[in-house]
Structures are given as C-alpha cells and as structure tokens.
Amino acid sequence: MKSRPCFSLLCFLVGLLASAKKPNVLLIVCDDLNDYVETLGGHPQTKTPHIRKLMESGVSFTQAHCNIPICNPSRASFATGIYPHTSQQFGFEDWDKNEILQNSRTMMAHFSLHGYHTLGTGKVMHNRDQQEWDEYGHPSDYGPFLHDGKDKIPNLSVPSPFRDDFGIIDGNFGPLENVTDKKSSNTGKNYSWVTGGWRKQRAMKYISDDDRDPTGDELNAQWAVQRLRELAQSKKEKPFFMGVGFVRPHTPLIVPQKYFDLFPLESIKLPKILKGDANDTFKHTVSSKEDDRSGDRGTKMYDSLVASYGGDRELALKKFVQAYLASVASVDDLVGDILEELKQTGLDKNTIVIFTSDHGWGNGEKDYVYKNSLWQESTRVPLIIRAPGVSVTSKQCDQPVSLVDLYPTLLDLCELPINTMKNDKGRPLDGFSMKPFLQDPEKGQWDGPDYAITALYKWAQYYDPAFQNYSLRYKDWRYIRYENGKEELYHTSKDDHEWNNLAQHSKFEKQLSGFRKQLLSIVPKSIPEKPKSNEYWKDQYFKKNPSADSNGNGSLSWAELTAHRKMSEEEKKALQNEHWKTSYFQKNPNADTNQDGKLTWPEFHAHKQSATPKR
C-alpha cells in the first residue's frame, strides 16, 4: 500500500506553485507631472499623501528623467524601450508609420504574447492605445471644457491675451463651477460643461462638488478599481498587466473646486526663480518658426500669462501654480483609490506597481511655462517602483535613470524574454533593468550608463538624429548641446536649480570637452533622408488638392495630377468649389430640393442658410 504524502509536503508544493505564478503589473502614468510630489522637493506646498505612501512602500528614483519632454515621442520611447535617436521618433507622427516602432513590440503587446492579460484605460500611449491592449476602458479625455452653446472655450476667469493666445488646452485653467444659470451680460450665451475624447464629447453635469458627473480621470480610476475587484474574484490563472493613464496635470488645469480650496491663492509660494536666469541659455536659438507647437512656446506662454495680469508676474504665476497644485492633488486622490483597492483585494502581495509621468513641466523657471525644454523642470519625472519580494521599502535611489529603462526592468522582474523585436526591422531594447537598485538603491550594480539622455522635440519634416538637441544628466552635472553647437553646463550637485551656465567659462573646458565627446559618441552619425518615391509625392499632392480627383473615385491618377497642375488658378478654384459642393451634397442629400439628383449653387446656399442657427 502506497503511503499518502504528508500535509506539510502538500503545503510546500502548493506554496511552490503559488510562488511560480508570475507577478501582476500595475503601471500608472500621469501627463506633464513634474517633481511637485511630496519628498521630491519640487514644491513645498504640494499635497500627495497617497503617492508618498507608495514611495514609503517601495523605491523612489530621485533622478529619473524622460527621454524626450513631450507627449507622443516620450510615450513611444518608454512603451517600446527604444530611444528617440534610435527610432527617429522625435515628433507627433503616427508610430505605425515609423518602420522601427512598427516592427518592435510595445511592452503591452509583449506581455500579452507571453501569457499576460493586458488591460488599459486612459492615456498610457499617445496613439495605439486601443489596439495594444487585450481589453481597453476609456479613451483619453482632456476635459472638462466650458461650452458656450456653440464652441468649447477657456474658463471665463482666464484673462486675455492668454486665453486667446493658447485656447482651450494650454490657455485654460480654473475650478469647476456651476454655470447653468450663468450668462454673459454681453452675449447672453448659456454655458455648460462638456467632456470626452476628441471624436466624441458628452455633456457633463456640475451643480457642486457633491452633485456632478465624474471627470475623465475619475472614470479611469473607477474603471481600474472595478476591474481589479473583478480580477481578484476571477479564477483565471493568467497574471495581468494593467495600465492607467491620467491626463492631469496636463492642461487644461480644470478640477473640482475642493482641490483649489486646498491651496488658497494668497498662501501660494512661487518656485525659486532667478531674475534673468534665461540670459545664459540657448533654447531660443533653435526655436521652430514652422510650427508653434514647438520652438520657444514656453517663453511665449510665460510672457502672455504675465501680460494677462497687467504685468503682475507674481499674481500670474500664483494663479497658474495654484491650478497646477490642485490638479496634482486631484490625481493623488485617484491613485489612492486604486492602491487601496489593490490592498483590499490582496492583489498588492503579487503586483508590481510603477508610478511615473511622461515628462515634467516648467512653472516660470527661466521665464518659461511649458514642457519641451532640456532643463530639470521638463526632463525630471517622478518614478516609484514597488516590487513585492524584490524591492526594499522607504528608500531613494539617486542614480540617473530614464523612462526607457522601464521596459527591461519589467521583463527582468517578470522573467520574460528580452527579445522584443517582431523581425529584423525592429530594434532591441535600449534601456537597462533597474532591478539591482530595487534591491540596493545605494550600491546596486547595474549595466546601464552613468547618465540619463534626453532629446528635444523641434518640428521638422525629417529628423536626422545627428542634428537634434540633447541633454546628458549625470549625478553631479547636466550637459546640453543644441543642434547649432551651442552648449549649457550645470554643476547640479552645487547648483540644483541650474542657474549658472558654466559652458562659457574656460575653467570648465575639460569637463565640457569630456561631456561633448561622450554625447557625440552616443548619438548616431547622420542618417540622410531616403529619397521619396513618386507615389509618395503624388499622395502628398492629393492630400493638398483633393479636387484634383476629377472622376471622384477616391484616388489620384498621374493623368489627373498632370491635368490639375496645368490648370490656371481660377480653374483650380472653380474645381475646388465644385468639390466642396459635391462633398456637401453627399452629407446633405435633402439639400436637392427639386430632387433631380444634382445640387445647384442656389440649392446649396439655401440649404446652408437654413441650417445656420439664428442668433
């Protein structure tokens, strides 16, 4: 007769099986969040108790930096683990049109391929969000926006010229308020709130903080809490990878009034700003004239904001900083809701938690209000990692790391294959695992560099990595080299505000020369643009001249292109008008009042006039 295994052996085997289950992953990403987080020292009045609590349960990287300080390319970089200078994704182009990114798996896709259930909500990536997850919640929602019955507009409290110069996104801040009975004395317009994704918006009720609809960020937090509860109750064996993307504190800085009440305007402390600090900097020398989204936008925003308050710089910055602090506090509450659910369900015992942001934001330092600079305010991001059974608690690591290191770190912690290329057109991961620092933040030995590299976005039709702007952030130094050869050097261990550019002092030529040599050895040599095919140029012509498609079949033949080019400007204009009329007819067939299957110009004008609301 065979003996039955003892109870202790059974317990051992069950425990072994349980420990073999791969850890879950929870990735929380904010937008435009700088170091205004408790313990990071960005602002003395910031209120982030839930994020601080997460720090106390894991490791906080105090010198974590983005790889490019603007949304789309930053997220493309950390989601694929590939530097911008490797992929040449420096701008807002669709990732799927980038050959390297198209053939390299995102961390979400890679985890899904290797047995994880991936689910995301909100703005984790800038595009691709829905297609990269096995399950997707809510799309990015930059609202709420004030609506005047016809258009979305900046909050009424935002003065001109700021509201006019920068519109409903960057020129917009203030608390949610009850506007149902509010009318402009001049226009008599009825105001309301709307929110939602770019393609679809919905009305948002707001009577008070206690009687209102949830914001987009709140919907994402609620979705995450509900799905965590369901995952905890599920009997599925698959581990999960969940991504939650919050838009705040990205502009518009509009959150419930209660968060503004935490920071009374008269009590607001401004960032430490050195008068004339921008005088020895050179970002303005590479400003883009072609596209106002880049270039020296931060200087323009600063000047416009101050001008809007009659030149009262202190009041202008206090107003903006108050809205920024309120937005950060609102996100902290949502992070707290998710972490509490993780704890209540017991999932925290086997879930790696990462909290970070895509890049930072400047609030007046160097007379600059924006992201997209190579200074500390734009490049530095909060980065907290809690890995049960691996990371120590309540420790900080001051080794410079960057967001490109997230992907290899997660693969290391979850013991997944490191080959993330779909084929030989992709690229291997550029970053390095930060696991050694999770185990020993002070003395951990890792294979990564002693710097964090950051590139700068400047609009272009083609990005040659050899002719871009870069920063290297070391423990004690920051070196910046612009595309025109101008340089900035800061001894950050003595000058943490980066006030004194030492690049112009001969005393520091040795350090400057060494950093310059290292940067130039990192950045690829020039990659000239490949000649575009004739079909490419035909497609570009068609996009600018849709009326050239004379037979209306949706494509442009070479004969049609040649014929259109030979037309006079008057003929082109007449053809374009006919094209518009035809497009209008397709959308409004009832405009054909005589029902002869054609739309005449009198019918077009009559229908358009009847469709225009009377004022």
Q: Are residues 569 and 422 in the same domain?
A: no
Instruction: Tell me the three state secondary structure of residue 126.
Output: coil
Q: Are residues 517 and 548 in the same domain?
A: no
Q: Residue 382 and residue 358: Cα distance in Å, rounded?
A: 9
Please give the pLDDT value at position 382: 98
Residue 29: enclosing H or E segment and its boundaries? strand 24-30
Q: Are residues 241 and 353 in the same domain?
A: yes
The phi, psi pair for 609, rounded to 5°, reads: -70, -40
Q: Are residues 581 and 457 in the same domain?
A: no
- Domain assignment present for residue 170? The answer is no
Q: Are residues 345 and 404 in the same domain?
A: yes
- Domain assignment present for residue 7? The answer is no
Q: Are residues 487 and 383 in the same domain?
A: yes
Q: Residue 228 and residue 251: Cα distance in Å, rounded?
A: 29
pLDDT tens-digit profile of 156-202? Answer: 999 999 999 999 999 999 999 999 876 655 556 789 999 987 778 89
End-to-end CA distance of the chain: 95
- Domain assignment present for residue 175? The answer is no
Q: Can you list the pairs that 329-333 forms with residues at least 24 positions away whose Cβ atoms lie under 8 Å?
A: 329/46, 329/47, 329/48, 329/255, 329/259, 329/262, 329/263, 330/217, 330/248, 330/255, 330/256, 330/259, 331/30, 331/33, 331/217, 331/246, 331/248, 331/249, 332/47, 332/48, 332/49, 332/50, 332/51, 333/50
Pick from 63, 70, 126: nearest CA to 94: 126
Pick from 358, 261, 369: nearest CA to 27: 358
Strand runs labelled E in 374-438: 380-381, 383-386, 395-397, 401-402
Indicate the number of domains in the chain.
Answer: 2
Please give the pLDDT value at position 288: 59
Q: Are residues 518 and 540 in the same domain?
A: no
Out of 522, 546, 581, a domain closes at 522
The two structure tokens encoding residue 244: 């939650």
Please give the pLDDT value at position 398: 97
Q: Are residues 312 and 392 in the same domain?
A: yes
Please give the pLDDT value at position 578: 82
Please give the pLDDT value at position 597: 81
Residue ranges in the chain whose pLDDT is less than 70: 1-20, 129, 182-188, 288-295, 611-615
Cα angle for residues 360, 362, 363 (degrees, 5° grid): 135
| Residue 106, domain extent | 23-143+214-522
Out of 500, 522, 544, a domain closes at 522
Please give the pLDDT value at position 12: 38
Instruction: Tell me the three state secondary structure of residue 307.
Output: helix
Q: What is the DSSP letter of 408?
A: H
Query: Distance of alpha carbon 610 from its chain centroid, rounded?
Result: 42
Query: Distance of alpha carbon 16 from its chain centroid, rounded?
Result: 40
The two structure tokens encoding residue 542: 């068609």
Please give the pLDDT value at position 185: 53
Find out whether 388 and 349 touch, Cβ atoms under 8 Å.
Answer: yes
- Domain assignment present for residue 284? The answer is yes
Please give the pLDDT value at position 598: 85
Find out whether 368 and 374 touch, Cβ atoms under 8 Å.
Answer: no
- Domain assignment present for residue 315? The answer is yes
- Domain assignment present for residue 148? The answer is no
Q: Are residues 419 and 445 in the same domain?
A: yes
Find out whether 73 and 512 touch, Cβ atoms under 8 Å.
Answer: no
- Domain assignment present for residue 238? The answer is yes
Alpha-helical regions (H) of 441-508: none
Q: Are residues 480 and 599 in the same domain?
A: no
- Domain assignment present for residue 195? The answer is no
Neighbours of 589 (CB within 10 A): 10
Instruction: Tell me the three state secondary structure of residue 97.
Output: helix
pLDDT tens-digit profile of 414-455? Answer: 999 999 999 999 999 999 999 999 999 999 999 999 999 999
pTM, whole model, 2 decimals? 0.86
Please give the pLDDT value at position 289: 52
Q: Are residues 557 and 435 in the same domain?
A: no
CATH number at residue 342: 3.40.720.10
Q: Are residues 474 and 562 in the same domain?
A: no
Out of 522, 554, 584, a domain closes at 522
